[in-house]
Structure formats: structure tokens, C-alpha cells
Amino acid sequence: MNFTEIPFFFIIGRPRSGTTLLRTLFDAHPNCIVPPEYPVITDIFHRFGPDKTWNRDDVQGFYNSFIQPQLFDFWKFEYLQINEENLRTNLTQIAQGTSSVDVLKLFYLHAGSDFEKEDIRLLGDKNPVYALYTKQLMRWFPEAKFIFITRDYRDNFVSMRKFEFEAPNMAIQAYRWKYISRMFHRLQKKYPGRIIHVRHEDIATHPEESLRNLCSFLSLPYNDSVLQFHKKSDAMANKTGRDVFMKYHESLTRPVNSDNVGLWKSVLNEKEIRQADFIVGKWGKMYGYEASGIKIKISDIPSSMLFQCYGYILYQMMLLGERLPYRLKVKLAGFLPSLAKFYRRFFQ
């Protein structure tokens, strides 16, 4: 198969919702490559425009932008373990007028993997930060399919608040969960056949059934070997360093399991539970998550509304960034992570 004919698919969802598990399961498939998280696509497409075409003389600019994105510094290019010598050789052989999407495919095809590969039929991308920009991705990749994964909004918060990359505030996180879930509900109705929804809980309790369904959606043959991914956990840890790996992805050292499903019931306090149920509202049940039945208190409403407004304004600022000149967007993106640090400093 010519590399330009290999389709893309995207794994999209809120952070700490099971996207990394799903990425690992698909990267363990011998006919699929899904590199580690490295959100460079929106950066490149904003910088050069989605319709730019490339030739062997000017593709160096694309290469430089891929290995040194200006929007993020947490994710490292070296995590991808790309064979740069082979990649550079292939880039010098591209045809006149090659699209940005096809140039991207070469980068993904040269990414390293801890799993044995055969004939590559599918390229995947997993980056939770893309969730807000799914409309743009659907336009840039008109033939790509999308897997939208959700996790119970209360368990999602339990997992997320352990880390420093987002504000540990239930109202903010519940609103973000609702916003993204509502957006995907609308996109599924508008683009039938391009988006499939899967719950983290279903993967955790019925992994083979869930994966067979997802593989069918992607026209990828199911392979039992993917469920043995945990046997490669040492090799995966070596990419990012064992301390980082165990902090964020310790669950990948074990087979798929449901140990953390429903953890919120014993971890969250009553105020956090009722606030989450109040904000998420009908959207939780729509995705298969039943509310606790604990009624919201009037005293909780002002702060819940305030932080929902904060969440809405932040998302609109991020969407606005896609319409700004590239350099201005870079400055805006550099400011946004400081909001989480501000919250941790003054509200905890």
C-alpha cells in the first residue's frame, strides 16, 4: 500500500479518560502505528495553513516545525523514537505538491514502537488536547475516523486531580467534561459513520468485545495479541523514564482491569459528588453514567456557576486562538497553562 493511501484515525477524549490505554492497545496491533502523545498537528497547520503543498526543496520547514513545536514543551520529540535518517531520505523523495497530511504520514510511519509490526494499514493519533479542535481535524482529515472515549466524570476527576496539568476543581472539570461530551454528541449526529463512542468502563470490563467493535469501525482486523501489551511495559517506561511512566501510566504495567471503575464512590466527598452531578446534568446519563441522587444545595450554586463561566471563557479563548495570527496564538498558548498554576496557588 502506498503510504498516501494509509488512513488516519484519532483517539479523542478528556485527559485521564483512558486515551493512553486505548493508544497502547492499538499500537500493540501489528498493522497499526499510534505514536506517543505529541500534539503538533494543530501547531503545524496553523503555522503553514492546512492546504499548503510541499516538495523536496521546501519540506525542511515542515521537518523543523515538527521536531520543535512552539506551543508545547511538556511533550518531547524523542519520545517518538523516529528513525530520522530514514525519514530524511523519504522526505527528499516526495512528489511535487504533496499535501501536509501526506507529509505527516511519513513522520508517523517512521515512529518507533515497542511492538512488532507487519503491513501497516492504519495510522493513529492520540492527543486529548485535540478534543476541542475536533471540527478542524475533521475538515483537515476528511477521510479520518474518530474514537471518542469517555470515563465517568467523577472517576475522571479523581484521576485528574492527582496531577498538575489541570486545575483540581470539580466544577471546572465537570463543566469541561460536559462541554466536550455535548460537542461530540452534536458531531456524531452531523457526521454519522465518522465518530464512534466507547466508554472506558466497557473497555475495562469487556476488553475483547470493545476492541472487536472498534476494529470493525476502523476496518482493521482484530488481533488477540493487543491484550498482551503490558508485557512491554518496561520498554514503554524507558521512553519517558520510569519515574514519569509510573506516575502517569502505572496501570499499563498490568492487563486491562476494572480496579479503578467507581473509585469516586469511596474517594469524593458529598459536595464534590452533588456539584458534579448538578453541572453535568443530563449529559452524564446520556453517556451511560447515572447520577448519585444527591441534590445540589443552594449554597453550592454560585460557585458552580462561576467556575462554569470560567471554563466557558477559557475554551472560547482557546478557540479564538485558532483564528489569530500564528505568533499571537503562540503567546496566548504560553499564558493558558499558568491559569492552572494560579488556581493551585490561590485556591488550595
Which CATH number fits the domain that encloses residue 223?
Answer: 3.40.50.300
C-alpha cell at 36: 506517543
C-alpha to C-alpha distance for 169 and 271, rounded to whole angstroms: 12
C-alpha to C-alpha distance for 308 and 345, rounded to whole angstroms: 20
Cβ atoms of 158 and 17 closer than 8 Å: no
In the block, residue with C-alpha cell 492546504: 51
Does residue 192 lie within any of the structural domains?
yes
Q: Give the pTM.
A: 0.92
Cβ atoms of 46 and 329 closer than 8 Å: yes
Q: How many CB atoms lie within 10 A of CB 13?
A: 26
C-alpha cell at 276: 458534579
Domain count, the chain: 1
Does residue 53 lie within any of the structural domains?
no
Instruction: Give pLDDT, residue 295.
Output: 92
Does residue 264 lie within any of the structural domains?
yes
Does residue 7 lie within any of the structural domains?
yes
Residue-wise over 76-91: b if at least 16 C-beta within 10 A, else e?
A: eeebbbbeeeebeebb
Instruction: Give pLDDT, residue 196.
Output: 97
C-alpha cell at 131: 478534543
Residue type, 85: E
Reduced to 3 states (helix: H, G, I; strand: E, B; else coil), residue 54 is strand
User: What residues contact 265, with CB distance under 8 A and at least 6 apart?
Assistant: none
Ranges in the chain, pLDDT < 70:
1, 70-74, 164-165, 330, 332-348
Instruction: Give pLDDT, residue 50.
Output: 82
Residue-wise over 267-297: b if at least 16 C-beta within 10 A, else e?
A: ebeeebbbbbbbbbeebbeebebebeeeeee
In the block, residue with C-alpha cell 466524570: 153
Rg (CA), the chain: 20
Does residue 318 lie within any of the structural domains?
yes
Domain holding 224, by residue range, is 3-35+113-346
Does residue 52 lie within any of the structural domains?
no
- Sheet of 32-33, strands arranged across: 32-33, 122-126, 8-13, 145-150, 195-199
Does residue 108 lie within any of the structural domains?
no
Instruction: Give pLDDT, residue 241.
Output: 79
Does residue 154 lie within any of the structural domains?
yes
